[in-house]
Amino acid sequence: MDAGKYVDTFELTRTGLEVSGQTSLLHCERLTEDLPEQDDSPVSWSLRGEKDSFGRSYLHLRVKACPMLECQRCLAPFAWPIDAENRLQMVNTEAGLEDDAVLVEGQPEDFIERIVGSPRLDVLALVEDEIILSLPYVPKHDVCPSVSPLIVQHDESDTDAGRPSPFAVLSQLKKN
Ligand SMILES: [Zn+2]
């Protein structure tokens, strides 16, 4: 079942159906405004409804994308493949977002993100949020391709307690 921009989440959770679609990273403006230039690379997503035996409604979101990020160490762009899954509890009203947490299968329900159901949910906004949440706080290559082995060794020593990294010393010098 193909979907456009809007999804009826009540219909999805009632029927347990899945909708899926594809868009381009170039359409994710909130996401890309803080990122380096993006290719027209595909973002594919699916959203499946579910009702549990207690009558609670859930949406299973899956998002695949591959944005380009800028390495904060060497400033070169690199691809960051994302394959994210999230289970959201759907509530009927804004007030439902604030309901007390209930225990389900031994897990506090407040670990689950909640979303207000809608006959016209902007699914692409939801998809974009999921990608944003999947981005690293400080994007970095594991090993920067353009950095010499000597400097990589220095960088690994960052984890040694007490010793300031050469970069920290450098930035301190720049401040003075
Ligand atoms: Zn790098």
Compute how many other C-beta atoms are within 10 angstroms of the C-beta atom of residue 82: 16
Q: Are residues 158 and 90 in the same domain?
A: no
SS3 21: strand
pLDDT the model gives residue 157: 47
Rounded to the nearest angstrom, the distance between the alpha carbon of 149 and the centre of ligand 1 is 13
pLDDT the model gives residue 1: 46
Q: Are residues 84 and 100 in the same domain?
A: yes
pLDDT the model gives residue 169: 55
Check residues 90 and 172 and name the one with the higher pLDDT.
90
Q: Are residues 42 and 79 in the same domain?
A: yes
Rounded to the nearest angstrom, the distance between the alpha carbon of 73 and the centre of ligand 1 is 5
Which pLDDT band holds residue 106 (cuts at 50, 70, 90)?
low
Question: How many angstroms separate the CA atoms of 16 and 49, rounded?
Answer: 5
Q: Are residues 61 and 19 in the same domain?
A: yes
Rounded to the nearest angstrom, the distance between the alpha carbon of 167 and the centre of ligand 1 is 14
pLDDT the model gives residue 135: 96
Would residue 1 count as lying in a domain?
Answer: no
Rounded to the nearest angstrom, the distance between the alpha carbon of 30 and the centre of ligand 1 is 24
Q: If you average pLDDT over residues 117-128, what whole number do you get? A: 95
Q: Which phi and psi (to 5°) does residue 168 adopt?
A: -65, -40
Q: How many residues appear in the chain?
A: 176
- The DSSP code for 99 is P
Q: Are residues 101 and 14 in the same domain?
A: yes
Copy the structure tokens of residue 33. Answer: 């405004």
Could you list the residue range(s) of the whole structural domain that residue 158 is in?
147-176
Q: Are residues 48 and 97 in the same domain?
A: yes
